[in-house]
Structures are given as C-alpha cells and as structure tokens.
Structure 1
Amino acid sequence: MNRLISRSLLTLVGTAILSTNVMAAEPAVCKNVRLGVVNWTDVMATSAMTQVLLDGLGYKTKQTSASQQIIFAGIRDQRLDMFLGYWNPIMTQTITPFIDARQVKVLDQPSLNDARATLAVPKYLADKGLKTFADIAKFEKELGGKIYGIEPGSGANTQIKAMISKNQFGLGKFQLVESSEAGMLAAVDRAVRRKEAVVFFGWAPHPMNVNIDMAYLSGSEDALGPDEGRATVWTVTAPDYAERCPNANRLLSNLKFTAEDESRMMQPLLDHKDALASARQWLQDHPEDKARWLEGVTTFDGKPAADNLKLTSN
C-alpha cells in the first residue's frame, strides 16, 4: 500500500511539473516575431542581437527595414511587434502621436542611457573656431552652405530643417543634404581626407567616434534635445505585447547596453560582416552579457534559456 501511495504521489508530482512547464511555454501566437529596423548601424546591431537570442530560444524572427514613421505605423496596425531604436529626443516628435493614441508602448526603462546625438565637425575644423552652433554661419562659405543629415523624414533631419526655416543661429541660407547614414558618412570621409570643412549629424554610440577625429558642437539651445544632445534609446512594442508574449517581452526588458559596447558591436557591420554572425560571436565572447540578458527568460517551449540557447545559424 505504501509503495502504491508513493508511486501515486510521484505521478502527481511529475504531472504537476509537466503542467508547470507547459504553462510556462509562450503562446503559439508569439512564435513569429516581427521586428522593425531602421538603417542605423546601432539599431541594426541591437536588432541582430535580439534576433539571434529569440531564434536561439525557438522563436522565428523576421526583420523589416523601414523608416521610423512606417515602423511605428506598422506596430499600430499589428504588422510589426517591436522596434529597438527609439532615440529620445531625436524621434520624439515622430512617435508622440502614436504614444498619445496608445497605439504603441515604450518599455519602462531605456536600453541605452549614455547616448548622444547632435551636430559635429572634424576636430581640425573645431580647432579653426567652429565649436558652437552659432559658429556655423561664420563658416558658411567654407561649408558651401550645407549641413549633412541622414535619411529623409528622420527626426534629426526634421529638427535641422526647423533650425534653417527659423533662421536659428543664422542658418537661414543653409541647405540640409539628406541621404542616409552611409551616404552622410561617405561625404564626411571625403571631406576629412581633403581636410575640407563639413558639418554633419553625429551620434554615439557609433564607430564614427573612433574612426573620425571629431568634435560635437555646443550651444545648441536644446535645438537637438536638452543637455547638448544627450539621448536615451528605448524599445517600443505593440501596446499589449507584454500581456500576449510575456517571455519575449522579458527578454526585451533585459536587453541593456552601453555606448562603448554598442560601438564595438557595430564595428563588424561597418566592416561588411554579417550582422547575425557578429551577434553570435559577441555572445560567445561575452558570456556575462548572455547570462544577464537571459535572466528569468525561457525558451519558447518553456525550458530554462541559459541551458538551452542555440547559437547555430539557420
């Protein structure tokens, strides 16, 4: 009789454990993850890291490259689930209508605290006296009346255009050259090689801070955000994503970076290496990051993430 009772108890305990594991599994609707990405190297690097982790946990992640506006609209329209690149305050004007209408949700804490985004110049130009926003107009002739920005429709370009239209800092006669991150950096590289004058939109984290001897301009009067362009980066999801897919959302909440580490994560991408392969290599080389990011996270089917993460390419 005692043996029978013992077997029954073991059966009940085993069933309870199995039930717990099933309960811990993510709902089937969460299997496919749709990730919006802007063509900024930092966002591409962190998005690749997110995809490698999610895919390694049994999810199926698809990235969609688009502009900020299209990504936020995609989350609103339930065509996208998440975006890891909301730069505050540079993108704030773009995202605010979606936040006010409760069509997107910004996570409670930033993924990056020590970012910066404002106008910059090569250091040799700063040494000649172009150190502040008010100095730009004094160098109009040398600059060809141009300020180099990133992609059309970006928050940064919108703010630079506003300065020009209001003739703020005497920039009324200047032209904003819009292209892309890669296009802008190519123009800056040409100017630097020729020791020519150039003003451009710079930010950190980014390898440009190492590859270009550059200086950020001061005296912005909050034109590109408070505290001379100091910024934070946040993850954005669908409003109900945390309730629908709590495990994937926990991973997103765990993903915290520093500007220094992100700059190092970005360098392989600028060297034309595969973003996903670079993310896998980072996880292999930095087990402390992997452990921190996977804390409290499970695989899609409810197993402990730390012991079951698969980093093989698909």
Structure 2
Amino acid sequence: MNQQKYIKKIIAPLLAVASVWAVPSVAADSQNSCDLVRMAEPGWTDLALTTGTASVILKGLGYDTETKVLGIPVIYEAMVNRDLDVFLGYWDPAMETYFATYKNTGKIKTIHKNLDGAKFTFAVPKFVYEAGVTDFSDLKAHADKFDRKLYGLEAGSNELMFDVINDAQFGITDWEVIESSEQGMLAQVDRSIRRDKWIAFVGWAPHPMNTRFEIEYLTGGDDHYGPDFGGASVYTQVRETYADECPNVSKLLSQLTFNVSMESKGMGYILDEGMSPEEAGVLLIKENANLLDGWLKNVKTKDGADGLTSVKKSLGL
C-alpha cells in the first residue's frame, strides 16, 4: 500500500465522523459583503488551531468570523454554493480524492500553501537516533534493544508497519507490531524515554509529540510511507469569486503561513490544556509575534486602517 492510499485510509474514518457533525449552513450575508468571514474545519485539531488563529487575526482587523465543524464533502459543497468562504485545511495528497471533483471546475480556488513539512513515518527517541538508528535499515542490527517490537496505532491502522516487517530488505520479519491507540502508544513512548529504553513507533507532524518528546524520524521508508518522511502539505482554499470580492481578507489568507513546530505546540494547548482554538491561537500568535509582519504585510483593517497596528493592539502587543 503506498503512502497516499494509506493516508486516505487513516483519514476516511475521520471524514465519516466529521460528516455526522455537518449542520445546515446559516443564510449567507449579501454576496458583496466581506464583513463576515465564513470558515469551516472538519474537527481535526491542527485545522481547528489554524482556523482559530485566522479568526483571531480577522477579528483584530474588524471582521466578524463564523466557523463550522463540517465533513469535508459538505465543506466543498457549501463553498460551491457560496455558503462558506474559506477552508484552511486541504491536505495534499491525503484529500486529493475529495477535491478531485472540484479541482478543474474553478468553483474552489487554492490560493496558498499554509503548511509544509507535515510527515508520517517511523520515529525513535533522540538518544536512540544518536546511537546510530537513523534509517529503517538500522533497526535489524539493534533488534534486542527494541525487543523486536514496533509500536503502532489501533488495529486496522498499521498496514504499513506490517508491510515494512514483511519486506525482506529490512531483515525484521520476526518483529511484532504492538497495536494500541494513539494515547496508548504515546504513553509507552513516554515511559520508554523516561527509562532510557529503546522504542520504535509511528510518528507524525504536526502533533504535540514533537514538542513533548525529543524524537527523530527515520529515513529509508520511502517505498512504504512515501518521500520526505511521508511528507504532505496543507493549502488554503476559497470559494470561486472570493479573492476578487474580498481582496483584503484574501491578502491575509495568501500570507498566513504556519510551521510544524508551532502547530504542534498549539495543538498541545487544545489537547492537553483544554483551550479553545481561538484561545490557543491568541497564545500562539503572542509566542510568534515576529510572524505578524509577514502575515499582515499590506493588509488593512475592514475600515482601511493599518492592519498590523490594529491586530497588535487587539492582542495587547
């Protein structure tokens, strides 16, 4: 199974759950009005964070915002029907199938890559990496230290791990995949790191694990997880005519760029500290205030004043 098919398999259940949460959209404002920016996200923590952060900035510019939690197919149909304006969460290639219907119609515009460097592959604690395990091919030489075990997620979500074990080139056909849950796996990672025990597990970014633990990702898994550590990018999309109707908001959206480390930290505020997406967004912006200059370059408030000054004032910066 290649990386794209696997990520689609992982995301499919999330799409199904998110679709259950779909609710009828509210009546749209005047088609020529940009005062209310209508956004959606599918209930994933990373997209809740980035959407919340965008909402904080837009409110600092004097706009009203509205965010709905909807299934991906519902989000796209709502954008086509002009009931939604903005979606910050097109994961490529994971969501390619869902966007394919709209890609060549012009009904939805992809205007910006807001995250690069997302990944999904094997990881190990930093001290294991520094001891010489930097590639999939290094696992076999240290089989005893790993107890011949790989730690994965829920049953049915570890096909690639089994594929790696069954791939003779790695020499680990006698290893075992420990199937658990995200929380269970990360609890084992935590215990192992605290006890200086070796562990190999499936890791991904963005996620708080990348800031909570000192971990490194292994090379050598391209045949199964895809290049660049199972790499993916995330894009911002808007409905067909939104960029022309609302050039100031679109200017912000075309400059609003995140990175994996800041998203991982911000997701932790939501998952571990119980913050709302906007609360997490406020803290994230304050911790990365240097990014505001680029995000708000040539962006005005709704009333035409300097956007950077207004947003900083709204945040007490």
Same fold (TM over 0.5): yes
Larger Cα-atom Rg: 1
Q: Secondary structure of the equivalent of 1:235?
A: strand
Give the conservation status (yes or no) of the 8 Å contact 2:112–2:237: no
Match of 1:60 in 2: 65
Residues 40, 67 of structure 2: 8 Å contact kept: yes
User: In the alignment, what sits opposite 1:22?
Assistant: none
| 1:148 correspondence with 2:152 | yes
**1:81-114 deviations in whole A, cap 9, x for unaligned?**
44434444xxx1x322233322585634422344
Question: Residues 102 and 239 of structure 1 are in contact (CA less than 8 Å); yes or no, is this contact kept in structure 2?
Answer: no
Moved over 6 A (4+): none
**1:122 Cα offset (Å):** 1.9
Contact conserved, 2:112 with 2:255, CA < 8 A, in 1? no
Partner residue in 2 for 1:276: 278
Q: Tell me by how many angstroms 1:272 deviates.
A: 0.8
Residues 111 and 237, structure 2, Cα contact 8 Å, conserved in 1: no
* Runs of 5+ unmatched residues, structure 2: 1-29
Distance 1:74 1:213, change over 3 A: same
Q: RMSD in angstroms over aligned alpha carbons?
A: 4.2
Counterparts of residues 209-228 of structure 1 (less than 5 Å)? 209-228=210-229
Residues 125 and 287 of structure 1, relative CA distance in 2, 3 Å threshold = closer
Note the residue ranges of structure 1 that are not aligned, 5 or more in a row.
Answer: 1-24
Go from structure 1 to structure 2 and tell me whether the alpha carbon gap of 1:307 and 1:124 turns closer, same or farther (over 3 Å shift).
Answer: closer
Match of 1:111 among 102, 108, 114: 114
Alpha-carbon distance in structure 2 between the residues aligned to 1:126 and 1:260: 19
TM-score (normalizing by structure 2): 0.65
Provide the rounded CA distance (Å) in 2 between the counterparts of 1:221 and 1:131.
14
**Residue in 2 aligned with 1:20?**
none
Change (3 A) 1:54 1:208: same
Return the alpha-carbon distance in structure 2 between the equivalents of residues 97 and 272 of structure 1. 34
2:84 and 2:154 map into 1 onto residues whose CA distance is 24
Structure 2 distance, partners of 1:238, 1:172, is 51
- How has the CA–CA distance of structure 1 residues 302 and 33 changed in structure 2, closer, same or farther, with 3 Å as cutoff? farther
Report the alpha carbon displacement of residue 220 of structure 1 after superposing the two structures with TM: 1.0
Match of 1:49 among 53, 64, 73: 53
TM-score with structure 1 setting the length: 0.65
Q: State the match for 1:311 in structure 2.
A: 314
Question: Would the aligned equivalents of 1:26 and 1:300 in 2 still touch at CA under 8 Å?
Answer: no
Following the alignment from structure 1 to structure 2, what is the Cα–Cα distance between the partners of residues 43 and 111? 11
- Inter-partner Cα distance in structure 1 for 2:32 and 2:179: 47
The answer for the alignment partner of 1:193 in structure 2 is 194
Give the structure 2 partner of residue 251 of structure 1. Answer: 252
Q: Quote how far apart the aligned CAs of 1:253 are.
A: 0.9
